[in-house]
Structure 1
Amino acid sequence: MTTMRERLCSKVACAREAVTTLTFDYEDQMAALGPLGAGDDPHAHDLCAIHTDRLSVPRGWMVVRHETVR
């Protein structure tokens, strides 16, 4: 049985487990937040539940939240 390595929040000094992945589209001034990504994108940021809830973006930007269907 293979165990997955725990992924931690990308925020400085946060040691909580990541639950979402955040990516940015600078051209369209958009941030996309969704389920944990594959983990190999250097431009993606993993966030814990607290930092996911506290997410803020620059004025004029749009946040797209992708929810998982269970």
Structure 2
Amino acid sequence: MRERLCSKVACAREAVSTLTYDYEDQMAAVGPLGGDDDPHAHDLCAIHTDRLSVPRGWVVVRHETISNR
């Protein structure tokens, strides 16, 4: 499987999450790395996932996976 890299300019780290925007509802959703390489989604590395910021008034929804360790 091809490694997916972070979508941020000049970042060469491996992507760990996928970010999508809903402009109508002013919402950003961040979740586990999507299964497909969707041209409307943005793959992010761990650092850029943690540093994510959105415009004032927007809501960020974070979907976490629960591991059964």
With the shorter chain as reference, the TM-score category is over 0.9
Identity rate, percent: 88
- Of 15, 20, 26, 2:17 maps to 20
| TM-aligned CA deviation for residue 46 of structure 1 | 0.1
Q: Secondary structure at the match of 2:47?
A: helix
| TM-aligned CA deviation for residue 41 of structure 1 | 1.6
Please give the alpha-carbon distance, in whole angstroms, between the structure 2 residues aligned to 1:42 and 1:19. Answer: 16
TM-score, length-normalised on structure 2? Answer: 0.93
Structure 1 residue runs of 4+, over 3 Å off? none
Aligned residues: 67
CA RMSD of aligned residues (A): 0.7
**Structure 2 equivalent of residue 31 of structure 1:** 28
Superposition pairs for residues 1-70 of structure 1, below 5 Å?
A: 4-70=1-67
TM-score, length-normalised on structure 1? Answer: 0.92
Q: 5+ residue gaps in structure 2? A: none
